[in-house]
Amino acid sequence: MAVYHLLLSSPPSLLLLPPSPRRPNLTLIRRIPAHPRLGNSTSLLSSSSPVIRKILVHSTLREDQPVASDAESPTLLIGEDSAAFELGKQKLVSWVYFGVVLGVVLFILNVVWIDNSTGFGKSFIDTVSNISGSPEVAMLMLILIFAIVHSGLASLRDIGEKLIGERAFRVLFAGISLPLAMSTIVYFINHRYDGSQLWQLQGVPGVHEAIWVANFVSFFFLYPSTFNLLEVAAVDKPKMHLWETGIMRITRHPQMVGQIVWCLAHTLWIGNTVAASASLGLIAHHLFGAWNGDRRLAKRYGEAFESIKKRTSVIPFAAIFEGRQVLPEDYYKEFVRLPYLAITALTVGAYFAHPLMQGASFRLHW
């Protein structure tokens, strides 16, 4: 999959909705001390009087949601709305700045890592691949190095942001993770047919179409923070979000599910030991990432995360089948949004751009 399935970011902005004729006056809430990261909000819900509890819960609802009498109701929203994008609230200067940042990052990446005459990318790949001479072992080692750096820095995020600030830590995080992710992807593209063949299904009718659909669907399981491009590029201050709607209703760890789908599809199609080793490493990394992500969110958000955890699931659709998650009647609207339209276009484009990606990777001789 693309860099998006390798690079996970986590970026809390739960704002109290303004009072309206249908809502109680939320000024009462200001008298109640609240944890800046919402850790105390759910403890207040459990310990306050029914009136205060109803006001606090009501403040997290969307405009079209009814007031519920119980804070544990599956229709209440404690977390944020996933993939929400309001064009009218975008600032042109922010996106211009994003374009400049992207250009600078790509230029530096090319000079420092990609260009074989100036960068360290080829030397890094050669060092790793020469340890054993086996493409399967090299593939696993590249994924392991990326996983240690990526998950390690993610685990140090709270400490790092306190020391150097949110934006600086994001730059450090991306600056180290991006070259390692790219190296892993390029090595996989260049060596995907080097291993021992285990099966050959590429000529079986219908397999190509099934693989294409699986790959296409896998990109819709991107973690919602991926869509916050301005935070990813540190144009906006990066945040650790507590998402709850959209794909999060299906699985609390969509990135893991999407990566598993992508790995199984590619392993089935390629059918050799290099593809199998790559899938083994990526799936193991994302399984650890799911556990680590829950741990970090529980540490930052406390009972608010635990409430969301109770009505979501790691296994897709499990919470829905068990009745812990109730999908709204207009659930489809949580996907009819610009980010998913962009993902559709990019996924189709990436399929047709496969020859270009393969050619560019081959010319690097990694």
Residue type, 84: A
Closest CA to 184 of 143, 227, 151: 143
pTM, rounded to two decimals: 0.80
Closest CA to 252 of 325, 192, 146, 322: 325
Predicted confidence band of residue 200 (pLDDT cuts 50, 70, 90): very high
What integer pLDDT is reported at residue 76 of this predicted model?
72
- DSSP assignment of 217-250 equals HHGGG--GGGG-HHHHTTSSPP----B-SGGGGT
What integer pLDDT is reported at residue 36 of this predicted model?
43
- Per-residue pLDDT of 316-350, as tens digits, reads 999 999 999 999 999 999 999 999 999 999 999 99
User: Is the model's pLDDT at 27 over the cut of 50?
Assistant: no
Predicted confidence band of residue 235 (pLDDT cuts 50, 70, 90): very high
The pLDDT mean for the chain works out to 84
What integer pLDDT is reported at residue 54 of this predicted model?
37
What lies within 8 Å, CB to CB, of 360 at 6+ separation is none
User: Which has the higher per-residue pLDDT, 55 or 89?
Assistant: 89
- φ, ψ of residue 228 to 5 degrees: the values are -80, 70
> Which of the given ranges, 11-15, 62-66, 118-122, has the highest pLDDT on average?
118-122
User: Which has the higher per-residue pLDDT, 144 or 19?
Assistant: 144
Averaged over 132-144, what is the pLDDT?
96
User: Is the model's pLDDT at 299 over the cut of 60?
Assistant: yes
User: Is the model's pLDDT at 118 over the cut of 80?
Assistant: yes
What integer pLDDT is reported at residue 75 of this predicted model?
58
User: Is the model's pLDDT at 147 over the cut of 70?
Assistant: yes
Averaged over 136-162, what is the pLDDT?
97
- Per-residue pLDDT of 254-265, as tens digits, reads 999 999 999 999
Beta bridge partners of 197: 272
Averaged over 147-164, what is the pLDDT?
96
Predicted confidence band of residue 77 (pLDDT cuts 50, 70, 90): confident
